[in-house]
């Protein structure tokens, strides 16, 4: 089965580059571009726009690198509370370090890191010291006085003027960060304030991939954005300012529309004249909608993403990360699309596998787990837990055996290896459970491959699991989660704990 493509990266790159450079020219060759969303590894976009290169935005910056400086923002509060980027399982401060390395790897220099809303938080101070001692320029910005009600104070030497100015010499300055609320807009406006005081008539624009302004309000792509931000209570709407100014329907989201009157006043106060922008949509330079080449493909993919978000938020509710309203909101979105959770092809097979484990009596700690992986040829492979192995481990082993065309009766891991690891966990490491999680199985496979040709053949098929769909009836243990993230599968799980223990190490 050939994967259907719904998005053309090259057309997108061509149109997006042109749109940004035209906006730079409009503002006398000095533009501050607020760069929202994930700058690299944008898996949400890749899932709902099949064919979308998750690193296409990095490719865009690489094309513009001779014309652009880059400033990275991170909110001090996110550092302090150790906010986590879910798709990598790393904190925002670590993600910022990784992003700097990734940018450098693409030949893109970070002019400075700005710690926003800085108030001498201990963890943020340590982060600042760490960067400075590695030779990276770090600036700190306090909370802007007067924001959001007193525009005269905001746009003054006591407001934006209190923030230090960051020297840049390229016509385009990209302001980005590891996640929402990182202070990108405030940094852009602070820089604009200083530029205009220096006589430089710089401008501002915004780059956001979603929602896509040029497609209908109720298109599944835009609905998937609402599902992805259900915890923030974001919702899409027709931009009323754009409709009034031009008579055209364009899609934006509530926070941008609500903030527009204030932002317009701030920009006019900074520039001393009427704003170039008549609507929040005007501020954007997004051309993602023009990269869509197969609407049916992206509609289906976006609907599937809504289901994924439902499972994710259901699990996060169980763990205490989100409230019940977030889960209910995504359920309403699913009803609006007319789909149920079982429309995800791997859900029912995983649940059936768990039932089979229960009927056989082969579980672990009295919990019976099932897992299912949909291979790229459409075939679904299942696995269930036992006293020897987690359901995730079983499913992955079965999947690579299928891909390598290895008969089921041939063991990829000899019983003696599995037994030895179990004995080590029980007798030496004093683990509560001795069944092997996926990370342990992957390590054992790599060792076994050196002496077993069948195992070596199967190991070579692990890369073919990347971007495959997978569902589990129970939330993964840490070892399963790490292994699945490294394999790059698109995982969902039912909201059930995988162990009766409160602590799973």
CB atoms within 10 A of CB 288: 24
Return d(Cα 267, Cα 196) in angstroms, integer: 11
Residues ≥6 apart with Cβ < 8 Å to 275: 264, 267, 268
Is the pLDDT at 87 greater than 80? The verdict is no
Whether the domain at 9-209 and the domain at 346-493 fall into the same CATH topology:
no
Is the pLDDT at 62 greater than 70? The verdict is yes
Is the pLDDT at 2 greater than 60? The verdict is no
- Confidence class for position 436, pLDDT limits 50, 70, 90: confident
What pLDDT score does 470 carry? 98
Is the pLDDT at 64 greater than 80? The verdict is yes
Which of 449, 452, 353, 433 has the alpha carbon at shortest distance from 398? 353
**At what angle are helices 324-337 and 220-228 packed, to 10 degrees?**
170
CB atoms within 10 A of CB 111: 20
- Residue 170 near residue 67 (C-beta atoms within 8 A): yes
CATH number of 9-209: 3.10.630.10
Question: What does DSSP assign to residue 387?
Answer: S
Return d(Cα 174, Cα 470) in angstroms, integer: 36
Return d(Cα 241, Cα 133) in angstroms, integer: 47
What pLDDT score does 228 carry? 93
pLDDT 10s digits, 130-171 = 999 999 999 999 999 999 999 999 999 999 999 999 999 999
What pLDDT score does 414 carry? 81
Is the pLDDT at 124 greater than 80? The verdict is yes
- Residue 101 near residue 124 (C-beta atoms within 8 A): no
Return d(Cα 148, Cα 425) in angstroms, integer: 56
Burial class (CB in 10 A: 0-12, 13-18, 19+), 153: middle
Six-digit token string for 136: 């990276």
Name the CATH superfamily for 346-493. Domain of unknown function (DUF1846), C-terminal subdomain (3.40.140.40)
What pLDDT score does 164 carry? 93
Q: Where are the domains of the chain?
A: 9-209, 295-341, 346-493
pLDDT 10s digits, 360-408 = 776 566 689 999 999 999 999 999 998 888 999 999 999 999 999 999 8
Average pLDDT value for residue range 228-253: 95
Return d(Cα 380, Cα 37) in angstroms, integer: 33
Six-digit token string for 251: 């899609």
Say whether the peptide bond before residue 4 is cis (omega within 30 degrees of 0).
no
What pLDDT score does 39 carry? 86
What pLDDT score does 499 carry? 73
Six-digit token string for 402: 């299928």
Six-digit token string for 247: 């008579």
Is the pLDDT at 1 greater than 60? The verdict is no
* Of the candidate ranges 299-313, 386-400, 416-430, the one whose mean pLDDT is the lowest: 416-430
Quote the mean pLDDT of the chain: 92
pTM of the full structure? 0.89
- Residue 493 near residue 354 (C-beta atoms within 8 A): no
């Amino acid at each position: 089965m050939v994967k259907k493509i719904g998005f053309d990266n090259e057309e997108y790159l061509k149109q997006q580059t042109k749109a940004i450079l035209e906006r730079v020219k409009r503002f006398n060759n000095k533009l501050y571009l607020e760069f929202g969303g994930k700058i690299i590894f944008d898996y949400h976009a890749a899932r709902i726009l099949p064919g979308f290169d998750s690193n296409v935005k990095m490719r865009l910056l690489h094309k513009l690198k001779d014309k652009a400086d880059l400033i990275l923002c991170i909110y001090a509060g996110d550092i302090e509370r150790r906010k986590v980027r879910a798709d990598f399982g790393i904190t925002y401060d670590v993600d910022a370090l990784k992003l700097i390395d990734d940018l450098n790897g693409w030949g893109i220099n970070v002019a400075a890191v700005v710690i926003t809303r800085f108030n001498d938080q201990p963890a943020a101070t340590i982060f600042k010291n760490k960067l400075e001692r590695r030779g990276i320029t770090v600036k700190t910005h306090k909370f802007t006085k007067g924001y959001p009600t007193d525009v005269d104070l905001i746009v003054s030497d006591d407001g934006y003027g209190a923030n230090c100015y960051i020297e840049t010499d390229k016509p385009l300055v990209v302001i980005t960060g590891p996640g929402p609320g990182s202070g990108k807009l405030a940094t852009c406006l602070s820089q604009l304030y200083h530029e205009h005081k220096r006589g430089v008539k710089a401008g501002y624009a915004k780059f956001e991939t979603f929602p896509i302004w040029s497609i209908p309000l109720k298109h599944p792509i835009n609905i998937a954005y609402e599902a992805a931000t259900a915890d923030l209570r974001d919702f899409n709407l027709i931009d009323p300012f754009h409709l009034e100014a031009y008579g055209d329907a364009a899609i934006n989201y509530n926070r941008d529309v609500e903030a527009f009157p204030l932002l317009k006043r701030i920009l006019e106060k900074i520039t001393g004249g009427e704003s170039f922008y008549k609507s929040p949509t005007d501020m954007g330079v997004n051309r993602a909608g023009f990269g869509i080449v197969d609407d049916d493909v992206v509609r289906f993919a976006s609907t599937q993403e809504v289901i994924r978000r439902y499972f994710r938020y259901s699990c996060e509710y169980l763990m205490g990360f989100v409230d019940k309203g977030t889960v209910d909101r995504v359920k309403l979105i699913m009803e609006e699309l007319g789909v149920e959770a079982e429309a995800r092809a791997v859900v029912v097979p995983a649940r059936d596998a768990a039932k089979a484990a229960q009927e056989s009596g082969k579980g672990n700690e009295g919990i019976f787990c099932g897992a299912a992986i949909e291979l790229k040829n459409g075939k679904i492979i299942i696995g269930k837990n036992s006293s020897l192995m987690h359901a995730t481990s079983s499913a992955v082993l079965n999947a690579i055996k299928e891909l390598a065309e290895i008969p089921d009766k041939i063991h990829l891991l000899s019983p003696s290896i599995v037994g030895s690891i179990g004995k080590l966990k029980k007798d030496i490491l004093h683990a509560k459970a001795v069944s092997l999680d996926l990370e342990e199985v992957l390590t054992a496979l790599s060792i076994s491959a050196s002496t077993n040709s069948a195992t070596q053949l199967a190991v070579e098929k692990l890369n073919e699991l990347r971007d495959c769909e997978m569902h589990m009836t129970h939330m993964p243990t840490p070892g399963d989660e790490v292994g699945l993230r490294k394999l790059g599968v698109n995982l969902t799980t039912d909201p059930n704990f995988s162990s009766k223990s409160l602590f799973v190490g």
